[in-house]
Amino acid sequence: MQATNDHQSVLAARRRFFEDGRTPRGLIAEPILRSWTRCAALGLEAAKTPEVATLSSGGLREACERHEQLRRLCRPEIESLYLDARDTDSVVILTDPQGLVLDAVGSTEFADKAARVALRPGVQWHEAATGTNAIGMALIERRPVEVRGAEHYFAPHRILSCHAAPILEPDGRLAGALDLSGHAAMPHAHALGLLRVVVDQIEHRLFEGRYPHCQVLRLHSERGHLGTAREGVLVFDGPRLVAANRHALALLGLEWDSLGECRYSELFATTLSQLRDGAPLRGLRGRELHGRLDPEATRPLAMSTTAAAPARLAPAAEAIVLDAAARKALARASRILDADLPVLLQGETGAGKEVFAQQLHAACSRAQAPLVAVNCAALPENLIESELFGYEEGAFTGARRRGAIGLLRQAQGGVLFLDEIGDMPLALQSRLLRVLQQREVTPLGGGKPVAVDFRLICATHRDLRQAVAQGTFRADLYYRIAQYTLPLPALREHADLPGLIGDLWRRLQQGPVADLPSELRERLAAHDWPGNYRELVSCLRALLALAGPDYRLTLDDLPPALRDPLPQVVPLTADATLSALAEEAMRSALTAAEGNVSAAARRLGVSRSTLYRRLLQKPH
């Protein structure tokens, strides 16, 4: 009912603003009204379809190369949201500081609809071009915003519900924006909270190795937040404050214009030498904080197109637990990899393939060499060939002056991880096969072949045998990469899912948070989790964003798919003989498995949550 009232208020606000020329205060949020006013002042006509220009493929390549460091830094976060984008029929978007869409991944169906309103790579989404929208507003307001349905300035954009957050450099400049857009008819209750968490993590990593000759101070009012993305970060060049993050500025009551002007002695009573000796960090007004200094010598951030950065774990990676069986499989796979045989990981989306590849790299003989991770489904199709194989100078319009070596050559001496290889276009499969057979790469635009030496890990959620039969995956490439195939089990097959959920909840916390209420844990444990770890961790992260010392989580805080009561089993009647037999078989299997739900489910060939619904959660 509330959503309907909101929608009617927005429609009333549009009539008052666009037809009557009056200010609709009280009917619409002030940031939206400010944006409408700016757009009207630019002479934009809301009833018309906006005229937007799309960059050429060469122009888009050039823009992507200019922002390559940002794209690589954000890629783990974009891929982490990729599952949510597919399941909620949405798309995840990264833009540059001017609102140019650099990457857009997610639901293919919605992406097609979004493309009709120009929500695709190569299009500018600042306000002057596309009116009121979340990306443009986030870049102007410099804070997370949402724009739903008719709140968009242009009428064709009403199909969208958009949530965006700006990404700020340590010196306060805009680095870009991250956006999660979906259909306006779909609920997106936790989108803004998830974006805040993700952008915090991106901005936190922007400091890594960026200031090797400066003093980097990390601080918070609560000790538990140190070392997390919620900590405050201050950078001092001598006595001057030269960089910071939003958390530090808010903690000290500073603004961005303090950078370059403020001095350490104007902020703290504790000297740097006292802090190194273990003294507590005290502000000038006597406020005691928790702080620590980074070591003075920090390795510069390796993030360029000529030297591969060590692959980073996705945000959920540290939460995935390898049990005894998985550790044994890891040991076998590392021996296979060290024998220069490729390893193929197969499992449902979100089942931990990326994390297992990371662990496999750490366990093999090339652990000290780079791990270069490539998501074949996330790379834009018009850029994937140049990204993988590199190119020579002048290979195409917009090509970098000295060319680029490509991701395959970046893995030289290390490990190459091709995630979602089942989504690689057929034309590129033949080129990849040639590289694997000849052990050399020929860049786009010609030039001499370059020898390459890397170990190979591939992963997919698809049935590649079926894809070969259907002609969408080359048989010769399949037999080349599938010499050792390792299936990864789904999350619902975990032996103790309630215990795992409780463990994940504690691991994901970035500070003191209350325990997950038992009714939520039980409801989560009874879910099938088709998205596996990624879906579960995304859900827990959303709950963590809502949780607080003065707020108790309830079932109403769960996503709609989990919030509704579980279906109840119909009582047995004379007409329900088949149901009675099925239930009896379940009880027998559970007894034979000595109460182990996962073992009973495997014995019966049903999901773990089915047993929960049919037996363990049945009212007595």
Q: How far apart are CA 160 and CA 163, in angstroms?
A: 10
| CATH 3.30.450.40 is the classification of domain 8-205 | yes
Q: How confident is the model at residue 322 (pLDDT cuts 50, 70, 90)?
A: low
Look at residue 595 in the predicted model and tell me its pLDDT: 67
Give the bridge partners for 419, in sequence order. Answer: 375
Look at residue 29 in the predicted model and tell me its pLDDT: 92
**Confidence check: pLDDT of 233 > 90:** yes
Q: How far apart are CA 204 and CA 404, in angstroms?
A: 28
Q: Residue 92 gets which letter from DSSP?
A: E
Residues in the chain, overall count: 620
Look at residue 94 in the predicted model and tell me its pLDDT: 94
Rounded to 10 deg, the angle between the 57-66 and 68-87 helix axes is 110
Q: How many CA atoms lie within 13 A of 404 on its CB side?
A: 25
The residue that leads in pLDDT, 1 or 482, is 482
Look at residue 567 in the predicted model and tell me its pLDDT: 47
Largest CA distance in the chain: 84
The CATH classification of domain 317-487, taken from the options 3.40.50.280, 1.10.260.30, 3.30.70.80, 3.40.50.300: 3.40.50.300
Look at residue 555 in the predicted model and tell me its pLDDT: 87
Look at residue 304 in the predicted model and tell me its pLDDT: 29
Look at residue 164 in the predicted model and tell me its pLDDT: 95
Structure confidence by residue, pLDDT tens digits, 578-617: 556 667 677 777 776 666 666 676 666 666 666 665 665 4
Q: How confident is the model at residue 87 (pLDDT cuts 50, 70, 90)?
A: low
Among 328, 319, 407, residue whose Cα is nearest residue 363: 328
Question: Are 499 and 385 within 8 A, CB to CB?
Answer: no
**Confidence check: pLDDT of 416 > 80:** yes
Phi, psi of 49 (to 5 degrees): -80, 125
Among 338, 340, 335, 485, residue whose Cα is nearest residue 421: 485
| Mean pLDDT for all residues in the chain | 80
257-266, 314-323, 555-564: range with lowest mean pLDDT? 314-323
Q: How far apart are CA 462 and CA 344, in angstroms?
A: 12
Say which CATH topology domain 565-620 has.
Answer: Arc Repressor Mutant, subunit A (1.10.10)
What's the average model confidence in pLDDT over 161-167? Answer: 94
Structure confidence by residue, pLDDT tens digits, 149-159: 999 999 888 88
Among 142, 198, 197, residue whose Cα is nearest residue 168: 142
Q: How far apart are CA 420 and CA 436, in angstroms?
A: 17
Structure confidence by residue, pLDDT tens digits, 345-396: 999 888 888 888 988 998 898 888 888 888 887 665 556 667 777 765 544 3
Q: Which residue has the tokens 């005229």?
A: 51
Q: How confident is the model at residue 138 (pLDDT cuts 50, 70, 90)?
A: very high
Look at residue 617 in the predicted model and tell me its pLDDT: 47
Q: How far apart are CA 367 and CA 534, in angstroms?
A: 25
Look at residue 510 in the predicted model and tell me its pLDDT: 59
Structure confidence by residue, pLDDT tens digits, 496-522: 788 888 878 877 775 556 778 888 888
Look at residue 460 in the predicted model and tell me its pLDDT: 94
Structure confidence by residue, pLDDT tens digits, 267-285: 998 888 888 878 889 888 7
Q: Give the CATH number of domain 491-559.
A: 1.10.8.60
Distances (CA, A) of 40 to 117, 162, 308, 412: 20, 21, 46, 54
Structure confidence by residue, pLDDT tens digits, 37-80: 999 988 899 888 888 778 888 888 888 888 888 888 888 788 77
160-168 and 215-220 beta bridge pairing = unpaired
**Encoded tokens for 400:** 């970098």
**% of the chain exceeding 90 in pLDDT:** 29
Q: How far apart are CA 505 and CA 492, in angstroms?
A: 17
Question: Are 593 and 601 within 8 A, CB to CB?
Answer: no
Look at residue 77 in the predicted model and tell me its pLDDT: 80
Domain ranges for the chain: 8-205, 215-293, 317-487, 491-559, 565-620
295-299, 492-496, 547-551: range with lowest mean pLDDT? 295-299
Structure confidence by residue, pLDDT tens digits, 529-566: 888 887 888 888 888 888 766 778 888 888 877 876 54
